[in-house]
Structure 1
């Protein structure tokens, strides 16, 4: 569980920083897209190849 918790905390801090820094709707969209990519990458790293893994 600790393996997943640390990246999620880092992602949350990154997301909060990115949202605080954006000034336009376009900037928010870019920040949300970057956060989504980070979540996807973390999920891929955490996946053990088992299709039953949530």
Structure 2
């Protein structure tokens, strides 16, 4: 029983870490697009 609980906890922790990295990467992508758009509006280049 303890082994099953530990396995489930480890799987959940792994998925949570992967999700955080994915969200962080998506936020960085959105931020990059926003910066590029702002630069273009102000006459600059991406």
TM-score by length of 1: 0.45
Please, which runs of 5 or more residues in structure 2 have no aligned partner? 1-17
Instruction: Report which of the two structures shows the higher radius of gyration computed on alpha carbons.
Output: 2
In the TM superposition, structure 1's runs of 4+ consecutive aligned residues that sit over 6 Å from their partners are: none
TM-score by length of 2: 0.53
Distance 1:48 1:34 in 2: 21
Higher relative contact order (CA 8 A, sep 6+): 1
C-alpha distance after superposition, 1:9-54 (max 9, x if no partner): xxxxxxxxxxxxxx700000000000000000000000047xxxxx
Q: Hey, which of these two has a bigger chunk of helix by percent? A: 2
How many aligned residue pairs are there?
A: 27
Specify the alignment match of 1:39 in structure 2. Answer: 34
